[in-house]
Structure 1
Amino acid sequence: MFNPLQLIPLRLELRGTPSRTMAYASPLIAIVLTMILGALLFIALGKDPLAGLKVFLIDPFNGKRAISELLLKTIPLVLCALGLSVCYRANVWNIGAEGQLIVGGLFAGATLVWLDVPGHAIPGSLGLLLMILAGIVGGALWAGITALLRDRFNANEILVSLMLTYIAQLLLMYAVNGPLKDPNGMNFPQSKVFSAEFLLPALIPGTRLHIGFIAMLAAAFGMTVFMLRSFRGYALTVGGLAPLAARYAGFSSRSALWLSLLISGGFAGLAGAFEVAGPIGQLLPSISPGYGFAAIIVAFVGRLHPLGAILGGLVMSLFYIGGELAQSRLGLPAAITGVFQGLLLFLLLACDTLIDYRLRWHK
C-alpha cells in the first residue's frame, strides 16, 4: 500500500543517550522561542514588538503591588503543579486539576458560609484551619472518583478526570444559584462576602498577597523531600518509569494510583481554598481562570520537580499578568494569554522531542 510519508525524506531517529544538561535547558529554550514568536505575533497584529514584550516581561515587576500580584497568581499554579508532578512521575495522567481546584474551593466556601454567621463563636484562626482542611478533602475526594473508576473499571484517567472538571463547574453553578446563594446579594449568583477574620491574612500590607504564598513554598520544599528522599516517593517514581521493575520489587501499582491522585487532588483543593478565602473572598460562578489546566504546562516547564514548579509558576504568572496588561494597554484580545500558553507548550514539546530524537535525511 502506498504510504505518502515515504515522499518525505526527513525522519526522526532516536539519539543514543540524551544530554541531561539539554533536558534541563529545554524549558529555557522554549521560553526564549516563545518570546521570539510572541514578538512576531505583535508585528503581525500591528503592534510594537518591543512594547509588547515590555508588557509581558517588565511591567509585571513594576512596583511592590505589581510584584505582589505576580506572586499571588503563582500560588494556585504551583500548588496544582506539585500534585500533577507526583501523578506524572507515577505515570498517572491526571488532567482534572481544574475540577479538583473548583470542588476544593466549593468545599472551603461552603465551610466559611456555615461558620461565618453571628451565632457561631468560632475564632477566625480555627475557621481558616477548618476551611483549609475542607478544601483539601474536597479536592482529594474529587480526584478519588478518578482513582476509583480507574481501579475498579480500568477507565481512562485522562478522560475521567477531564470530564469531571465540567461536572465540578456545574456543581459550583448550582451552589451559587441555590443553597449557598447570598439572600442579600441582589439575586446575583454568588455567596456572601466572607468576614475579614475568615480571610487569609495579607503577607505584605497594602497588597492582596496572602500567607498562602508561604504555605506554597513550604509545600514545594516538602514535596522535594518526599519525591527525592523518601521511600514512598521513590516507589512512585520507579512505578512510573519502569512498571515491570516496580512490580518485581513489590511496589503496588494500585497504591501508586490512589496515592498520587489523592495527593494531586489535595493540592488542587488547597489551591481552590486559598482562592476563595484569599483574593476572591466569596464563592462566584468562576473561581479559576484555568489555573488547573495551566498547571500542566507549569509542571512540565519545571521538569516534574517540585522546586522547578516554582520557576514554571512564575513564567505562567507572567503570561497571565502580561495578558491582562496587553488587553488594557495595547488593545489586544483576551485570548493573547492562551496563545502564549499554547506557544510555550508546543515549543516545549518540540524541544523535548529534538533532545531525544534527531532529524536525518533519508534518500
Structure 2
Amino acid sequence: MRLEKREHTAPLALLLAPLGALGFTLLVGALLVVWAGAPVARTFLLLLQGGLGSVFAISETLTRAIPLMLTGLAATVAFKARLFNIGAEGQLYMGALAAVAVGGLHGGTGWGLPLAVLFVLMMLAAALAGALLLLGPALLKVRLGVDEVVTTLLLNFIVLLLVSLMLDGPMKDPTAMGWPQSVALLSELELSKLIAQTRVHSGLLWALALAIGLWTLLKYTVLGFDIRALGANPRAAAFAGVPVTRTVVLVALLSGGLAGLAGAIEVAGRTSYLTLDMSPGYGYSGIVIAMLAALHPLAVVGASVFVASVIVGADSMSRAVGVPTFIADCMVAAALISVLVATLLTQYRVRWR
C-alpha cells in the first residue's frame, strides 16, 4: 500500500470529507455509550442540550470556548511556521501570573496609575510573559537545532512549579484561609459581562477580534507569506530569501503572546485570581483545536465552540444517564483523528499492489 498525490480533488470529496469525519466521530461515541450501558439517542440528546440547549448552556459553552480560541490561535500560528509549540499551557499560566502581578500586587492602590493605563499594562505584561517563555525554545531551535517539542513541553512543568511557589509565597492571598490562590485583581480591571447573570465576558470579543486579525496577517501581509512559506518548505523558503530566524522569532512572540493573553483574559474575565487548577488543560486542547480547524484562524472559532459544547454537555449527560464524562474526551480525540484522515484522503489516494 502506498499514498499517491492527487492531481485534482473533486468538490464533492471536499464536501464529503468533513461529513465522513463527523459520522465516524458519532459512531465512536455511540459505541462507547452502548459499552457504558446507556441509551444512545437519549445520551446524545442530553449532550446537545447540555452544551447548547438553553441560554445558560450556551453561556457556559462560550465561556469555556474563550481560552480555547486563544490557545488554538497560538498553536495555529506556530504550526503554520513548523514551530511546534506544545507549551501553551505554561505560557497561559505565565500570562495569568504576570496579569495578577500587575493588576493585583499593589494593595489596591494601582501604583497611582489611571485604570485604563493599568489595564493596558496588565494585558501587555501577560502577552510579553507568554512570548518570552516561547522565545527561548525558538532560538534554541533555529540556532542549535534543539527540538522545540521537548523544550516547550518541559517548560510547562517548570512554570507550574513556579506558579505553586508564588501562590504559597509572595503572591499568596492572606485572606484565602490558607488556600493556595493569588491576590485578586482590582475589580475595576475585570472584564465586563456580555450577558447578564452569566459568566460570558467581553474576552469573547477579544478572541474573535484576534482570530480575524491573525487571519488577515497570514493572508494579506508579507510576514504572513513568510510564515506560510516557512511552513510549506523551510529550505525552499530560505533559498528564496525568507528571513528564517527573524520569522521564527516573530512567530514565537506572536504564539506565546496569544497564549499569555489567554491566561490574562481568563483571570480578568472569569476567576479574578490565579490558582493552580485554573486551566483544565486549555493549552493542550488548543493543539487539538488548531488541527480540527486545519490551521485556519477563523475555523478555530468554530472548533473551539464545538469542543467546548462537548465538554460542557458531557457534565449534564453524565449526571442524567450515568456515563463517564471521559466519553466526551474520546469523541474529541476521534474527531481529531477522523478530520486528519479525511483531509489526508482528499489530497492523496491509496494505491494497493
Distance 1:79 1:38 in 2: 27
Is contact 1:204–1:210 with CA below 8 Å preserved after alignment?
yes
C-alpha distance in structure 2 between counterparts of 1:20 and 1:136, whole Å: 42
Q: Distance in 2 between matches of 1:78 and 1:20?
A: 31
Contact 1:138-1:269 within 8 A present in 2 as well: yes
- Tell me the distance in 1 between the aligned counterparts of 2:237 and 2:142: 18
- Which residue, 7, 10, 28 being the options, matches 1:17? 7
For the 8 Å contact 1:83–1:260, the answer to whether it is kept is: no
Q: Distance in 1 between matches of 2:41 and 2:57?
A: 20
Corresponding residue for 2:58?
A: 67
Say if 1:98 and 1:17 are closer, same or farther in 2 by CA, change over 3 A: farther
Aligned-residue offset at 1:341? 2.2
Calculate the TM-score normalised by the size of structure 2: 0.93
Distance 2:14 2:283 in 1: 24
SS in 2 for 1:58: helix
Does the C-alpha gap of structure 1 residues 102 and 27 become closer, same or farther in structure 2, counting only changes over 3 Å?
farther
**Secondary structure of 2:192's match?**
coil
| Matched-pair contact (CA < 8 Å) for 1:105–1:287 | no
CA 1:174–1:20 in 2, change beyond 3 Å: closer, same or farther?
A: farther
Q: Residue 147 of structure 2 is aligned with which of 135, 156, 159?
A: 156
CA offsets 1:240-259 (integer angstroms, 9 cap, x no match): 11223322221111112111
Q: Contact (CA 8 Å) 2:85, 2:149: kept in 1 or not?
A: yes
State how far apart, in whole Å, the 2-side matches of 1:152 and 1:15 are: 34
Query: Which amino acid in 2 is paired with 1:15?
Result: K
Match of 1:33 in 2: 24
Counterpart-to-counterpart distance in 2, 1:142 and 1:230: 26
Match of residue 183 from structure 1 = 174
1:309 aligned to which of 300, 310, 318: 300
Contact 1:116 1:198 survives alignment (8 Å) = no
Paired residue secondary structure (2:206):
helix
Q: 1:129 aligns with which of 117, 120, 131?
A: 120
Which string of whole-angstrom CA distances, capped at 9 and with x for unpartnered residues, describes residues 268-313 of structure 1?
A: 0001101111111211112211111111111122121111111111
Q: In the TM superposition, what is the alpha-carbon distance from 1:233 to its structure 2 partner?
A: 0.4
Q: TM-score, normalised by structure 1?
A: 0.90
**Structure 2 residue matching 1:209: 3-state secondary structure:** coil
Structure 2 stretches lacking a partner, 5+ long: none
Alpha-carbon distance in structure 2 between the residues aligned to 1:28 and 1:159: 35
Provide the C-alpha distance between the structure 1 equivalents of 2:10 and 2:155, rounded to a whole number of angstroms: 37
Aligned residues: 352
**1:28 CA displacement:** 4.7
Mind listing any 5+ residue stretches in structure 1 that lack a counterpart? 1-10
Q: Distance in 2 between matches of 1:122 and 1:208?
A: 28
Please give the secondary structure, in 1, of the residue aligned with 2:108.
Answer: coil
Question: What is the distance in 2 between the residues matched to 1:24 and 1:181?
Answer: 53
Residues 328 and 116 (structure 1), Cα distance of their counterparts in 2 relative to 1, 3 Å cut: farther
Does the C-alpha gap of structure 1 residues 176 and 23 become closer, same or farther in structure 2, counting only changes over 3 Å?
Answer: farther
Identity of aligned residues (%): 34
RMSD, aligned α-carbons:
2.0
Aligned to 2:135: 144
